[in-house]
Amino acid sequence: MAPILKIEQLSFHYGDNPAPVFANLDLSVEKGEFVAVVGGSGVGKSTLLKCVADLAHSSSGRITLDIPERHASRRRATVFQDGRLLPWRRLRGNIAYGLKGLNLSKTDQQARIDEVLALTRLTELADRWPHQLSGGQAQRAGIARALAVHPDLLLMDEPFSAVDAITRQHLQDELLNIWQKTGAAVLFITHDIEEAVYLADRVVVLSGSPARVQLDQPVELARPRGRNAEDLQQLAHAIAQEL
């Protein structure tokens, strides 16, 4: 079975700067797989994700998405670090925004919105304005908006880095729950190795200048995982050595 996302020999440099941020990067994500990309700041983790999301253009290399067009769905959806809700739309309206152009009937659209609101436990807050949401709620709303388009690939750019530690743990568990229900593949960018090991099937380490794939480490720990379990901590520690 072909991977859902295949990145081959990808390089990226900003504008006139001849030194690439990352170079000759190879990475693939299988259908339904949860892959975390970790690395220090400046290695181009977010840029890599933007390339996959078609929000930035790589200098060379190839990105292949093996995702057939399906009716009323987008092939990939992005969750941003800052939640990025449109402040002039209520929560419900923000979710609806991603559905525009999918030719859903009014009823289907409502059903989609209600479905993801329930999945992210935001039903009660559907009529709030974004500024009336906490950081964690805004982040869940961003996830809800992405899920509503029924993507096959979910692109997440450090989605939990701006929320407090306790909220982060809740959101991580919710994400795992949602991921198992939807079966979408996830490409998850983070600088937190423990988070990566806790969530992912595979952890990819980027480092160096230009950055390359330093390590591609399967995480073969049974789910549900314990955050403080010794094997998880050991693996996180081993990965940290590569950074």
Partner 1 sequence: MHTSKASFWVAHPVGRALLGLAGVVAFVAIWKLAQVTGWARAGTIPDPFRLPQTLLDEWRSERLLPAILSSLVHYVWGLGLGTLLGFLVGALAASSRWTDALHAWLARILRPIPPLAWVVFAIAWFKVSHAGAAFVIAIGVFWVNYFATWSAVRNVDPKYYELAQAFGQQGHLNRALNVTLPASAPGILAGMRTGIGQAWMTLIAAELLGVPGMGQEMNAAAGVGAYEAVVIYMLVISLVYTLSDTLFARFEKRVLQWRPS
Binding site for partner 1 (CB under 8 A): 53-55, 74, 77-78, 80, 82, 84, 86-90, 97-98, 100-101, 129-131, 145, 149
Cβ nearer to partner 1, comparing 14 with 97: 97
Cβ nearer to partner 1, comparing 88 with 124: 88
Neighbours of 177 (CB within 10 A): 12
Q: Is 15 left (phi over 0), alpha (psi -120 to 50) or beta?
A: left
Cβ nearer to partner 1, comparing 75 with 170: 75
Q: How far is the CB of 198 from partner 1 (least distance, A)?
A: 26
Contact by Cβ (8 Å): 196, 36: yes
Q: How far is the CB of 114 from partner 1 (least distance, A)?
A: 19
Cβ nearer to partner 1, comparing 46 with 169: 46
Cβ nearer to partner 1, comparing 6 with 128: 128
DSSP string, 191-242: S-HHHHHHH-SEEEEEETTTBEEEEEEE---PSSPPTT-HHHHHHHHHHHTT
Of 77, 84, 65, 45, nearest to 178 by C-alpha is 77
Q: How far is the CB of 131 from partner 1 (least distance, A)?
A: 4
Q: How far is the CB of 186 from partner 1 (least distance, A)?
A: 16
Residue 107: exposure state from Cβ atoms within 10 A (0-12, 13-18, ≥19) = exposed
Q: How far is the CB of 11 from partner 1 (least distance, A)?
A: 22
